[in-house]
Amino acid sequence: MQQTIRIGTRDSQLAVWQATLVRDQLVAGGHSAELVYIKSEGDIDLVTPLYAIGVQGVFTRTLDAALLSGRIDMAVHSMKDVPVQLAQGLAAAAVLTRANPGDLFVYKGDAAFLDDPESIATIATSSLRRRAQWLHRYPHHRIDNLRGNVNTRLAKVASSDWQGALFAAAGLERIGLRPANSIPLDWMLPAPAQGAILVACREDDTRIRSVCAPLHHEPTALCVDMERTFLSALMGGCSTPIGALAEIAGDHLRFRGNACSLDGKTCLSVEKKVPLPAELSAQAPTGESLAQASLGESRRAATADLARAAAGELLARGATTLIQKVTT
């Protein structure tokens, strides 16, 4: 008799959507799978700003514990919420194809105030990264804290005096809640691994690793690994005001990163490009086709070195001081 795969997930609408995507792909592959709902620390405390909770993995630790105890066989995470170092005994079983990695501004009324340097608008977000980058562009605006799942945050915006709020585009798009009154923030660098879904399992669980192999998208994994290496090299965490985005563009991998002060007055940026292996760029200029090729450990090492070099440039320009002011 086939053993049912137990998939751990938080119980928010977005988390369930992501876990259901994984379950449906497993079922399509001939496996039996079910969802197991587990509340995280971040779901219980919906008031305290995430950076003030003071622990890494506020959305992942309870799922990690359930995995290690054997209560579930795999856990599905928004990868941007996952600490750079997975909990001891756990491993990445798959990184799914990335959705829109960018951020959105959801506004009320109209957005004409964005072009008015005299407008003292109030914008809501719990993300230090979004806060810092927004204030860098709009230093005359005010920022209020906004916590809760996607639906809760949208409702709070509607009932508040705020002019708008900042969201991850993928979170709204995945559950069909992207409002018409929203603007993509192409100038804002996302959190490392934003828009990507990680499936984690026990390190020694070869069955689950094998089951998840068809779900894995190597181009996405290459890009998010580079972003997370950059974050790690800057000694940042999930709540630090650090942005990073790696993208496959033709025959190159383009990387952009930044680190900002909380008040947005200082924002240090860096950009790098590295050519893809000739055999890959010749075969496949697009991410979907690249998924059919193995990028190899040497390519991973090269892109990791590039991410560390990018971080090194920012550290040499004073990023250490910016990050220390957040983490101390």
Residues of the chain with CATH 3.30.160.40: 217-328
Most confident of 146-150, 163-167, 322-326: 163-167
Q: At what angle do helices 319-327 and 296-316 cross, to 10 degrees?
A: 90
Residues of the chain with CATH 3.40.190.10: 1-96+196-216, 103-184
Per-residue confidence at 298, pLDDT binned at 50, 70, 90? low
Cross-strand pairs, 67: none
**Average pLDDT of span 67-90:** 96
Class of the CATH domain delimited by 1-96+196-216: alpha beta
Per-residue confidence at 301, pLDDT binned at 50, 70, 90? confident
Coil, helix or strand at residue 310: helix
Q: Catalytic positions, please? A: 81
Q: pLDDT averaged over the chain?
A: 88
User: In CATH, what number does 217-328 get?
Assistant: 3.30.160.40
Burial class (CB in 10 A: 0-12, 13-18, 19+), 278: exposed
The number of C-alpha atoms within 13 Å of 183 and in the hemisphere containing its C-beta is: 14
Q: Could you read off the pLDDT of 166-223 as tens digits, one per residue? A: 999 999 999 998 888 999 999 999 999 999 999 999 999 999 999 999 999 999 999 9
**Average pLDDT of span 313-318:** 95
CATH fold, domain 103-184, is D-Maltodextrin-Binding Protein; domain 2 (3.40.190)
Q: Could you read off the pLDDT of 84-138 as tens digits, one per residue? A: 999 999 999 999 999 999 999 999 988 999 999 888 999 999 999 999 999 999 9
Write down the pLDDT at residue 302: 79
